[in-house]
Structure 1
Amino acid sequence: MTDQFQSGDIAPFFQVEDQKDQSVSLETYRGRKVLLAFFRNSACALCNLRVHQFIQRYASWQQQGMDVIAFFESPEANLHKYVGQQDAPFPLIADPEARIYELYGVETSEAKVQATLSQPGIHEEIAARVEAAGFKLMPEAGSNFNRIPAEFLIDENGMIRVAYYGEFITDHLPFETIDQFVADH
C-alpha cells in the first residue's frame, strides 16, 4: 500500500469504467470539485446508506460545481446487484482487485473492523440505522470485509484539499465538511 495522502497533495490520475460502462478519468473533472469515496463493498449496508445520502445531496452539490465518484471493492456483477440498484446519478466503480484503493492508500485493517464491532451496542445501532433507510445487513461473498472507508475532497486543479481515512467502518467525512468545501469558491 502507498502512503496516505495529505491536504495539498496532487490526486493520482486514474482511468476506469463505471457501472454504466462509461469511461471515468479524474482528469476529465478538472475545473470541478470532486468527492472521491472509497467504500468497503457493494453489499455493505452502511455503504449503501452513505450512497443514498450522497444521492439526496447530489443535485445541490452538482449545481455548486462538485461531482462524486464512488469506488467499491466488489466485482462488477455485485455492484449491479447491490448498490447499483439505487441508480446513482454519479459513477459507481467496481475495483475488485483494489488497484485504485492501493493508489490512494486506502487501508485494510482487521483490527479496526474488530474495534468497531466490539463497541457495546454497535450491531444494534448499525442495524437500526440501515434498516430505517431500507437497507439490510448482509455479507458479500468474496469481498474484503476488513476494508476501511476513505473519502477525498479534490479541488478544481486536482489537488487534494481533504484526505479522510476512516478510523472505523462507520467513520466517514462529516457532511458539514463536504458542504463547506462545496460552498468555498
Structure 2
Amino acid sequence: MGDQIRPLQPGEPAPAFALPAANFDGLVSLDSLRGRSFLIGFFRGLHCPFCRRQLGQLAGLQPTLRAAGVEILAVINTPVERARLYFRYQPTPVMLLCDPECRTHRAFGVPRVEFVPNGSSERPEWPSRTTMAQFGAARINPTGELPEALQPMEANVVLNARDGFELDEADHAILANHGTQLVGHFLVDATGIVGWVQIEARDGPNSLGIFPTAAQIIAAVGSLER
C-alpha cells in the first residue's frame, strides 16, 4: 500500500526538525529559525538532475528573498558526507540540509509514489500509488532541454550524462530506496505557520520535474507579507 500521508496545508504549523547542514556548520532546526520566515524545499538526492537545477534557481532567488526577510533551505535525501563532497566543487549559497531517510519529507507530508504489485486488485491512486504501466508511459521535458519528451528515468540518465554527473554508491542506494520520492516546497512564516505549499506532479507523472518558478515563489512571498 502506498503512502497515505497528506501534505501540510496553509494555516498548519510546521513540524519540528533538526538536520545537519552540508555547506554550513552544525544542525539547523525549526527552533533555530523562529522569528524568521523561510522557504523550505524537499528534494530527491543529488542523482536527480531536475532537483539540482531547482537548487540553482533557488540560489539565484536568494538575494531577492533575503531582501524580503525570507531564508531559503533545501533538504536532500543524500548522506551529508556525499553532499559535502559534491558541493565542495559545486557550491551554493542556499542552506543545504541532509535527510537520507526522508523523515522530514514525511513530517511535512511530501508524498512518495509506490507501485501497485502486478496482479493486485488495489486501485492506483496517484500520487500515492501507480502502476508500472502508468509510470512507464509518462513523458517529461520540464526544463525544455531535451530534444523530445522522454520517460522520466531515461530523462534522468540523459541529463546526468550531459551534466557529467556520475552516480556513486551512495547515490545508487538513495535511488533504490527513495527513487520515487516527490518534491515539495513550503513557505513558513516567522511564527512557524505554513503559508504556501507546492507539491510536484499533483496531476500525474507527466508533470514530474516541474517545480515552482521564480515568479511563483516571489508572488507567494508577497502574499505571505500581506
Other-structure match for 1:170: 209
Among 17, 22, 35, the residue aligned to 1:31: 35
**Structure 1 counterpart SS, 2:173:** coil
Structure 1: 5+ residue stretches without partners: none
Q: CA deviation at 1:124?
A: 8.9
Quick one: distance in 2 between partners of 1:165 and 1:84? 29
Other-structure match for 1:49: 53
Which range moved further: 110-119 or 29-38?
A: 110-119
Taking structure 1 as the reference length, the TM-score comes to 0.83
Max Rg structure: 2
Other-structure match for 1:160: 194
Q: Which amino acid aligns with 2:139?
A: Q
Matches within 5 A, 1:69-84: 69-82=73-86
Among 146, 153, 173, the residue aligned to 2:180: 146
Quick one: distance in 1 between partners of 2:182 and 2:166? 17
Among 139, 148, 161, the residue aligned to 1:119: 139
Quick one: distance in 2 between partners of 1:84 and 1:166? 28
Other-structure match for 1:102: 106
Q: Identity of paired residues, percent?
A: 22
Quick one: distance in 2 between partners of 1:117 and 1:77? 36
Name the CA shift for 1:116/1:135 in 2 (closer, same or farther; >3 Å): farther
**Structure 1 counterpart SS, 2:150:** helix
Name the CA shift for 1:52/1:130 in 2 (closer, same or farther; >3 Å): farther
Q: Which amino acid aligns with 1:135?
A: D
Q: CA deviation at 1:30?
A: 2.5
Quick one: distance in 1 between partners of 2:136 and 2:71? 30
Quick one: distance in 2 between partners of 1:81 and 1:118? 33
Q: CA deviation at 1:21?
A: 3.2
Q: CA deviation at 1:177?
A: 2.5
Quick one: distance in 1 between partners of 2:98 and 2:182? 16
1:90 aligns with 2:94: yes
Name the CA shift for 1:8/1:84 in 2 (closer, same or farther; >3 Å): farther
Which range moved further: 60-69 or 138-147?
A: 138-147
CA contact (8 A) 1:151 1:164 kept: yes
Q: How many residues align?
A: 182
